[in-house]
Structure formats: C-alpha cells, structure tokens
Amino acid sequence: MTTDLATLYKDLHAHPELSGHEQRTAGIVADSLKSFGYEVTENIGGYGLVGVLRNGDGPTVWLRADMDALPVAEETGLDYASTVTAVNDDGETVPVAHACGHDMHTTALIGAAGKLASTLDEWKGTVVAVFQPAEENLSGAKAMVDGGLLDKVPHPDVVLGQHVAPGPAGMVFYHPGYTLAASDALEITLFGKGGHGSRPEATIDPIVMAAAVILRLQTIVGREVAATDQAVVTVGVVEAGTKNNVIPDEATLKLSVRTFDPLVRTKVLDAIARVVKGEAMASGAEREPEIVTLYSGPATHNDDAALERVVGAFNTAFAGRVMEVPPGSGSEDFGQLGAAANAPSVYWFLGGADPKLFAPPADLFQVLAEIPSNHSPEYAPVIEPTLTMGVAALVTAARAWLS
C-alpha cells in the first residue's frame, strides 16, 4: 500500500472525533474523493457524505465506511496514538480514540475509491462511496437516510461494508445470514418513595426494587429464550441514592440487549417490560416504571445470493485467506442502508492483528482471547497488511458486480 494511505491512516488515528462530530474527518474524505473525480455531496444526516463515480451503464454498488471514534483514552503506546479530548453531547470533556478501527475503514474506502477511479477501463457501472457518521450510537445510518440519502445518489443493486476485527491481518472473515446482533439500549426508571434509612417501612425502596429487577432480568435468557436461539441482556448502569442513610425516590438502570432473530428480539423486549412492571407492582410502587429506548439497530443480515457472489470473488482473489466464522454479538447500523434502499447487503470482517501471533503452534482461540479487541484502550490494528487487504476486499467485492 502506498505511503500516502498509511500516512492518512496515522493522521486519522491521531485525530479521532466523537459520534456526530466528524467534521475534520469528513473534510479530508471530501477532498480525497474530489481529487479522484467523484461527485461529492456533504452534510447528509450530520457529517455524512457520499461520492459518486459514474462509468457507463451497469450496476450501482454502494461501499460504506463509518468515521466516528469512541470516548476512550488510548493506551497503545503507538507514536501516532491519540491524545485528543473533546466535549461530548452531555457537556463533559472526555478522551477520544479510534478504539474500534473506523479510521481503518475510512482509509480503506478512500483507497478503494481511488483504485476504482484509476481503473475505469476495467469495469462499468456506478460506485457510490458512503462515509457514515455516528455508528457507535447506531444513529448515523438512519440519519443519512432521513437526510435524503436515497434521493441524492443512484439506487444500489448491492450495499457492501466491512469491519476490522482481531483476527490475523491479511484474512477476511464472513458469516451467512445473521452475522451481527440487533442492539437495543434501554433506560429504565423505577419510582419509589424516599425517606430515612432507619424507617424503611415508611418508604418504597427503589434500590431493593432495582435489585429484584436485575436478578429477574437474568432469567429471561436462561428460562424464556430457547437453547437454539441467542440473546444477551446486560445491566450496565445502576444509579440510585446520594447518602447511606437516605432511601431515594427513584433508581435508574441502563440495559444492553442483543438478539439475532426478530421474533426473539420482540419476545425479549416484551419480557423485559413485563418483568420491570411486575417487580414494581410487587414492590408496591405507586407509579409505573418508565422504559425509554436510548438507541437501537436491527441485526446485520447477509443476503444469501449476494454473499455467495462476494465470497466467490474473495476465494478467487485471496485463495486460502477467506474463512467462515460464527456470528458476533456486537452490533452495527450498516444494515439500515440496504433495508432503506430495499437492496441486498453483504458485510464481512478484516483481520487486523499481527499475523505472526497466530503462527503455528499458536492456538487461534487462545490468541484471540489474549490480544486487545475492539473498544479496548489498547486496541489498534497493524497497518499492514490490514490496509492493503481492506482496500483490496472493497475493490474485489465491488467488481463482483461492476465487472
């Protein structure tokens, strides 16, 4: 890969931006696309932007990359590590780092856009490079759709995307069907009746209520979801009280819910509402709990026929470096683009870890358990061969249609 792309990657890595604040990144992307001859439309759903390259009659392929970073303090020790802080949407100053690899996604798509623009005699059709903001809170894809994306660019025959992961760099990974989980982030407020800690009989204790809810929620997956299905219900935040001898008026829980099958998703969410309301009633709460969805996104699903075409192209181009893997319980909003356009979509994964770590006799799963993964303060993919494969995978997948 060219030094320019590696330099660009290091620059983006050192200058991360929070979800919804990707102004600098979007500007760099726009300048790059314009230099390749793309028609660029900016500020779609925030800092989202698209570049369109028309090359005669043929299919239209959307290629998508996300641009946002996380409120994480980087601890990689790299000479291009982020030292950035920023003010988040709550007015708090937080560290910021590309701890999920979106800088790699952005750089790879810029590289692929340039490669396709320089080989116009080898393919026909239209390429739409979609650079999405705010993936980390699962709002960016919807924001771009709501911002008129489908009216601003040609309709896709397929939507393609990729994500760097902690596998060996130089490899690509895929899963048929549901490949990433749906995500629902819930905030639950339980209302009690406050008072003195020495007189609990005069109160309705929302902390005890919250404890009962937390324990009961764990039975949903264990006792209501079939063993052949998959779901995760995690209580990640518990907030209540200000002093040891004061029983507060309310308690707040924040949940992360992951499912694959839409019917299971509905069942689990309904069960959560039932449990929360039931425990509040059992505690004698005088006010019904509030359940608010903070953000949500559907499961990422690979279209069978489109995936077969992509994997076939990968196997030809990257023989011996393509592997089917189990589905992941992480989540993405990538699928909302294909769903909104009523077009098939395909999503795969790039290895991003040093291949030497996986050399025999190393055990693949032991290595994966030990190396930093996405969202870790220590996570950063090796630049090569990750970047070269990231560009090549996008170009190869696109040309499975465009050629």
Predicted confidence pLDDT, tens digits, the chain (403 residues): 445 999 999 999 999 999 999 999 999 999 999 999 999 999 999 999 999 999 999 999 999 999 999 999 999 999 999 999 999 999 999 999 999 999 999 999 999 999 999 999 999 999 999 999 999 999 999 999 999 999 999 999 999 999 999 999 999 999 999 999 999 999 999 999 999 999 999 999 999 999 999 999 999 999 999 999 999 999 999 999 999 999 999 999 999 999 999 999 999 999 999 999 999 999 999 999 999 999 999 999 999 999 999 999 999 999 999 999 999 989 999 999 999 999 999 999 999 999 999 999 988 889 988 999 999 999 999 999 999 999 999 999 999 999 8
Q: Which domains does the chain have, with CATH numbers?
A: 3-180+299-402 (3.40.630.10), 182-296 (3.30.70.360)
Nearest CA to 331 among 94, 61, 53, 139?
A: 139
Query: Which amino acid, 371?
Result: I
Residue 373 phi/psi, 5° resolution? -115, 175
Which of 68, 184, 279, 332 is the catalytic position?
A: 68
Q: Does residue 68 have an active-site annotation?
A: yes
pTM of whole model > 0.85?
Answer: yes
Q: Alpha helix (H) ranges present in 3-76?
A: 3-14, 23-36
Tokens of 99: 């701890």
244: buried, middle or exposed (CB in 10 Å: 19+, 13-18, 0-12)? exposed
Q: Is 279 a catalytic residue?
A: no
Q: How far apart are CA 382 and CA 354, in angstroms?
A: 6
